Structure formats: structure tokens, C-alpha cells
């Protein structure tokens, strides 16, 4: 079986847990996910099965949408509620919605983020969370991210007894964005410590939460013998690219790793998806210097 399944990752599970369970359900090892979700975050996690694993990076290039909650007044080691409190500064009065909106607007567009120490990014061969747990210091690499929008979804709530203020938000962003870090940066813009106190992913890889299926539903589909019906075609990850249906002669050229010229495919796009018999076979990229399309990613040459 080959295809993509938008799994609903429940809280308490890791993304690796989802892959492990899917391998048992599909009885295949060639399975991978496209974009990690922390254990305390739920939502859409696209899982690629079989030959679809070759398009994981293209799924990750698609935008993501999250909803969640930010708490102003304290910060933690992990930038979410799993960590230990490292700073606390209670609020005497709340920020207005207008003040919050202004600072959210400043955190849109192309930004540079420094990922949290408790993250899976590798530096010198070790995960950042390994450095954090062992108490070792290391310089964290900067990351270029894109925030399409960052807005409030409900009226902000201030608790005068605790001195905390909650902000309810939605964010649309590109790959590599840490929403935990975005929450902390918003607090920094407002001049107070902050933490991401709740998060759900509504959309990823072109899939929405309404399309996502639970692991338990996949297990039932396997028992019923209709598991394959749950899979979306590999081409679902490539919808934004220009598609070309190959004739038999062109298909033979492509199967041998050959090149195509723009006039052969009437193509002007930087990347094209080459189809044969209604299946995505490969992705070709235009080489400006050589004026031809050449292989970028082979998917299915059978």
C-alpha cells in the first residue's frame, strides 16, 4: 500500500508512537510522519505509507495552522507547561486587546527564531534536549521561519487573584516554526514572561482536523479489511505543483532518468509533477543553466 493518512494525534502520544502503531496496523516498516507534534499537543499528523515516504519533505513545506493559549505572568524551561518555572512576574493589570494585537502583528512575516533547549534539533550530533537534560551548554542555531498570521480568537482573560492573563490565539505558519517560542516572544514584546499553555494543530500538509482519523479507527479499518480506503494518494502532497501527464514515449525516457525540455511538456514552472496512468511518478526541476527539466525526486517507477 502507498499513500498518506492524516492521523489525529492524541495528547500523551509522541509522533514516533503514531508511526510505531501505524507500522503494526499496516504491517509495513516503510512509514514516516511529516512534522513532529509534542506529546502534550494534539491535532493533525500526516503519516506517509510506502512510496509516499518520498514526498514527506513536500508535505512539510505546506503551511500549518494552530490554535492555542498563551499565559502571561511566568515562563518555564520548556516554554510550555511541562517545564519548571524559571521566571514569574505577576500582572497588576491586564494588557488590552489592542496592545496584544499590535505585538502579534510585529511577530508576522519572515522572522528569526532561536529554538527552545527542550527540542529535537541536533547540534554537533546531539539533540538539544539531551544538552538540556545533562546541563551542558551549547549555542542554539537560529532558524528562519515565516508567520502568515497571528491573531486572537477570543477575548483575553485576566485573573486578578493569580496575576496571570490568558491569550487565545490562532497562527498560520511555515515549516520549522516553534509555537512555544512564538508564545515566549510575544511575552517578551509585552515585557513579561510567557508560556504556551495549550496547543492544537488544525491543519498540516493540506489536511484539516476534519479529515484526521484516530489510531483506534485505523485499527478497526484493518480488522474490517478496508484500511486502504483510508489512504489519500501520494499526489495529495503535490497539489500545488504543475502536473504533466506523460505519453508512453516520455514515460520510457523518465523511467531511465532522462531529461525533458520545456517545449516537450509545455512547462514554465520551476517544478513539475510527472504523471503516468494517473499516478504521480516523479518530480522534475527546471535547470536554468541547461534549459531542461531534470529529476529532483523519483517516486514510483513501477
Residues 6+ apart with CB under 8 A from 258: none
Looking at residue 36, its pLDDT comes to 85
Q: Any bridge partners for residue 167, and if so which?
A: 70
Looking at residue 120, its pLDDT comes to 64
If one compares 123 and 148, the residue with the highest pLDDT of the two is 148
CA angle (176 as vertex; 203, 77 as ends), nearest 5: 105
* C-alpha to C-alpha distance for 47 and 31, rounded to whole angstroms: 7
Looking at residue 124, its pLDDT comes to 66
Same domain for 278 and 193:
no
Same domain for 286 and 159:
no
Q: How high is the mean pLDDT of the chain?
A: 91
Q: With the C-alpha atoms ordered 221, 227, 229, 233, is the resulting torsion angle positive or negative?
A: positive
Same domain for 181 and 72:
yes
The average pLDDT across 264-280 equals 88
Looking at residue 179, its pLDDT comes to 95
The lowest-confidence range among 32-36, 50-54, 252-256, 278-282 is: 32-36
- The answer on pLDDT for 203 being more than 80 is yes
Which residue segment(s) compose the domain that 272 sits in? 241-298
- The answer on pLDDT for 81 being more than 80 is yes
- The answer on pLDDT for 119 being more than 70 is no
SS3 content of the chain, % helix, strand, coil (to 5): 30, 35, 35
Residues 6+ apart with CB under 8 A from 219: 25
Give the CATH number for residue 261: 2.30.130
What is the residue-wise DSSP string for 216-277?
Answer: HHHHHHHHHT-GGGGPBPGGGGGTTSEEEE--HHHHHHHHTT--B-HHHHT--SSEEEEEET
* C-alpha to C-alpha distance for 292 and 236, rounded to whole angstroms: 26
Last residue of a domain, one of 152, 180, 204: 204
Options 2, 38, 185, 235, the catalytic residue: 38
Same domain for 191 and 175:
yes
- The answer on pLDDT for 141 being more than 80 is no
* C-alpha to C-alpha distance for 9 and 111, rounded to whole angstroms: 28
Last residue of a domain, one of 204, 227, 258: 204
Of the pLDDT bands very low, low, confident and very high (cuts 50, 70, 90), residue 96 is very high
Looking at residue 227, its pLDDT comes to 92
CB distance 195 to 204 below 8 Å: no
Number of domains the chain is built from:
3
- The answer on pLDDT for 251 being more than 90 is yes
Q: With the C-alpha atoms ordered 190, 195, 200, 205, is the resulting torsion angle positive or negative?
A: positive
Looking at residue 192, its pLDDT comes to 97
Same domain for 153 and 69:
yes
Cell of 242: 504543475
265 to 197, 222, 250, 274, 301: CA distances (angstroms): 51, 41, 9, 9, 19
Q: What percent of the chain has pLDDT over 70?
A: 96
- The answer on pLDDT for 8 being more than 80 is yes
Same domain for 129 and 37:
no
Give the CATH number for residue 78: 3.30.2350.10
CB distance 194 to 76 below 8 Å: no
68 to 110, 162, 289: CA distances (angstroms): 21, 20, 46
Q: Tell me which DSSP letter residue 211 carries.
A: G
Q: With the C-alpha atoms ordered 6, 9, 10, 16, is the resulting torsion angle positive or negative?
A: positive
If one compares 116 and 16, the residue with the highest pLDDT of the two is 16
Of the pLDDT bands very low, low, confident and very high (cuts 50, 70, 90), residue 149 is very high
* C-alpha to C-alpha distance for 185 and 107, rounded to whole angstroms: 8
Same domain for 191 and 82:
yes
Same domain for 251 and 147:
no
* C-alpha to C-alpha distance for 33 and 55, rounded to whole angstroms: 10
Q: HSE of 183 in the Cβ direction (CA atoms, 13 Å)?
A: 31
| 38 a catalytic residue | yes
Same domain for 142 and 95:
yes
Of the pLDDT bands very low, low, confident and very high (cuts 50, 70, 90), residue 34 is confident
- The answer on pLDDT for 230 being more than 80 is yes
Cell of 190: 509585552
Same domain for 116 and 26:
no
Same domain for 32 and 133:
no
* pTM, rounded to two decimals: 0.90
Looking at residue 201, its pLDDT comes to 97
- The answer on pLDDT for 91 being more than 90 is yes
Last residue of a domain, one of 181, 204, 227: 204
Same domain for 35 and 104:
no
Other Cβ atoms within 10 Å of 5 Cβ, number: 26
Q: What percent of the chain has pLDDT over 90?
A: 76
Looking at residue 117, its pLDDT comes to 63
Q: Of 123-132, 150-159, 224-233, give the range with the top mean pLDDT.
A: 150-159
The average pLDDT across 27-48 equals 92
Amino acid at each position: 500500500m502507498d499513500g498518506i493518512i492524516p492521523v489525529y494525534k492524541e495528547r500523551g502520544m509522541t509522533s514516533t508512537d503514531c508511526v510505531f502503531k501505524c507500522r503494526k496496523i499496516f504491517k509495513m516498516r516503510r512509514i514516516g510522519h511529516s512534522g513532529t507534534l509534542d506529546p502534550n499537543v494534539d491535532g493533525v499528523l500526516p503519516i506517509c505509507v510506502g512510496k509516499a515516504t518520498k514526498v514527506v519533505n513536500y508535505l512539510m513545506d505546506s503551511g500549518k495552522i494552530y490554535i492555542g493559549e498563551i499565559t502571561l505572568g511566568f515562563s518555564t524551561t520548556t516554554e510550555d507547561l511541562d517545564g519548571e518555572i524559571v521566571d514569574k512576574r505577576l500582572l497588576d493589570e491586564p494588557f488590552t486587546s489592542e496592545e496584544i494585537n499590535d505585538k502579534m502583528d510585529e511577530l508576522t512575516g519572515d522572522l528569526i527564531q532561536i529554538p527552545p533547549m527542550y527540542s529535537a534539533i541536533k547540534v554537533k550530533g546531539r539533540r538539544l534536549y539531551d544538552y538540556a537534560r545533562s546541563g551542558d551548554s551549547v549555542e542554539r542555531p537560529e532558524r528562519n521561519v515565516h508567520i502568515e498570521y497571528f491573531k486572537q480568537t477570543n477575548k483575553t482573560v485576566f485573573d486578578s487573584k493569580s496575576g496571570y492573563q490568558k491569550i487565545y490565539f490562532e497562527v498560520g505558519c511555515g515549516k520549522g516554526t516553534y509555537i512555544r517560542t512564538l508564545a515566549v516572544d510575544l511575552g517578551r514584546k509585552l515585557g513579561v514572561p510567557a508560556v504556551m499553555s495549550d496547543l492544537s494543530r488544525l491543519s498540516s500538509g493540506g489536511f484539516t482536523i476534519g479529515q484526521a482519523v484516530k489510531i483506534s479507527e485505523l485499527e478497526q479499518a484493518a480488522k474490517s479489511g478496508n484500511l486502504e480506503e483510508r489512504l489519500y494518494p501520494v499526489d495529495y502532497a503535490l497539489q500545488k505543483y504543475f502536473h504533466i501527464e506523460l505519453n508512453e514515449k516520455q514515460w520510457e525516457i523518465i523511467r531511465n532518468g532522462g531529461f525533458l525540455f520545456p517545449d516537450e511538456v509545455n512547462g514554465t514552472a520551476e517544478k513539475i509533477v510527472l504523471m503516468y496512468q494517473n499516478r504521480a511518478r516523479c518530480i522534475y526541476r527546471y535547470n536554468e543553466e541547461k534549459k531542461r527539466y531534470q529529476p529532483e525526486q523519483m517516486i514510483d517507477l513501477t
